[in-house]
Each structure stands twice: as structure tokens, then as C-alpha cells.
Copies of this chain bind each other. A is one copy, B any other.
Amino acid sequence: MGPAAQFSTKDRILGAAEELFALHGFAGTSLRQVTSKADVNIAAVNYHFGSKENLVNEVFRRRMDVMSALRLSQLERALSAHPGQLRPILAAFVEPALAMALDRNGGGAFVRVIARAYAEKNDSLRRFLSDHYGHVLRDFGRAMAACLPDLDKETLYWRLDFLAGALTYAMADFGVIKRPQGVSEAQHRAQAAAELIRFAEAGFHAGGGRPTASPDPSEA
């Protein structure tokens, strides 16, 4: 397990799967592509993971555990160092995703895998995410609510969803913004994170009253 240790067959499979899942989706990636890219035998994936579905879950867990831990520890530091301030809480949510996106060791693919997972209405994967990482979102919700005592809970949770959606799409590099020449990938993502924190900070501080629901446009 030293720093110079070879990547194990299992880790090579995970890394290859992550990259391919990001590129082609879960259904769009075959185990043959994975094992070929990882330079292992086709039978190895079933030996180590049992099934393709289980491989998907393991690809997820490996990075998501890291990102969730980063978020929670940064949240804790934000709450003790800057009590009552929203921006450090937002940063604690956004910046770990940025860190994953910038991770040299293949983490960049992971943020796109997250976006995939959201799109998958896949029951088992979504339950897996909710069961294992739902508490992180709840912790952030509580911390934000303490900063915004006048905001009703429902509006707060809507805004958390908006933040998560915007973050997912920004980090996965969907959207119209193209990275200009001369700007590194890292700078570009860091810019996205900083822009998003500022955008969301203003958004969360928007007036707390319930908005009047728009008239149903399909009736017009």
C-alpha cells in the first residue's frame, strides 16, 4: 500500500470504469470496454465485483465517500470559524466538488459520473445515494437554516436543490461556457466554483416570502 505500489487489478477496473462511465454512461459502457481499458481479463470484473450493477455502485462509493467527508469537515470548520455566515457554508458545499473535479487521479471523470447518476431514474442507485449520503445534505440544510432564520424551510430546500443542480452541471462542464485558450482546466473550474458561490449567496439571501405561483402556462 506504499506510494509506489502498483495499482491493483481492482483499482484499475474502478478507474477505467469511472472514465468510461463518464464518457458513455452506465448503459453505454460495456464491461469489455472496461476490462480492455484496464488491461485486465474480462472475467476479472465478475470475480472482483460480481456484477456490472455492483461495479457501478463501487465506482460511486469510492469517490463519494471522499467528497462527503471533505464537505462535512469543511462545514464544521466554517461553522466554528465563521458562525452565522452563509458564504463559508456554501463554499463548504461547492469547493469539495471542485476539488474532486481537479483531482489528478481521475476524479475529473467522477463529477460527470455524478451527473449521470442524477439522470438515471435508476431506483437502486438513487436509493443507495439517498441512504448513504442524504445526511450530508441534511447537515447543510440545518447549517443554512441557522444563517437564514427568516427563510421558510421549504424555500430553503428548493434553493439547496437549485444549488446542487447548478453545481452538478457546472462541474460536469455542460452548458455554453467554453474554456478560453490560455486558461487552464483548473483555473476554469475554480472560476466556476467562485462564480457559483457568489451567485448562490445572493440567491439564498433573496426575500423570504412565498412567491405567488405563476399561472399555469399550459392553460394560456
State the majority secondary structure of interface residues on A: helix
Q: Is A190 touching B165 in the complex (CB atoms < 8 A)?
A: no
- Does A158 sit at the interface, judged by CB under 8 A? yes
Q: CB < 8 Å: which of B27, B201, B217 contacts A99?
A: B217
Q: Known A158-B192, A162-B166, A206-B198; judge A174-B118 contact (CB<8 A).
A: yes
Q: Quick one: which of B98, B116, B170 contacts A162, CB cutoff 8 A?
A: B170
Contact B137 A95 (CB under 8 A): no
Contact residues in B for A168 (Cβ distance below 8 Å) = 165, 169
Contact with B along A16-37 (1 / 0, CB 8 A): 0000001111111000000000
Does B195 lie within 8 Å of A199, measured CB to CB? Answer: no
Cα distance A27–B77 when bound, in Å?
Answer: 43
- Please tell me if the beta carbons of B25 and A120 are within 8 angstroms of each other in the complex: yes
Tell me how many chains of this kind the complex includes: 2
Q: Which of B155, B197, B213 contacts A190 (CB 8 A)?
A: B213
Counting CB contacts under 8 A, is A78 at the interface?
A: no
A80 to nearest B CB, angstroms? Answer: 17
Instruction: Evaluate contact between B212 and A194: CB separation under 8 angstroms.
Output: yes
> Is A115 an interface position by the 8 A CB rule?
yes
A24/B96 in contact, CB under 8 A: no
A43 within 8 A of B: no
Q: Which of these, B26, B161, B211, contacts A177 with CB under 8 Å?
A: B161
The answer to whether the Cβ of A196 comes within 8 Å of any Cβ in the partner chain is: yes
Query: Which residue of the partner chain B has the closest CB to A205?
Result: B202
Question: Contacts A161-B176, A162-B166: A194 and B206 contacting too (C-beta < 8 A)?
Answer: no
A180 to B170, CA, bound (A): 29
* A residues adjacent to B (C-beta < 8 A): 22-28, 70, 91, 95-96, 98-99, 102-104, 112, 115-116, 118-121, 134, 137, 154-155, 157-170, 172, 174-177, 186-187, 190-207, 211-214, 216-218
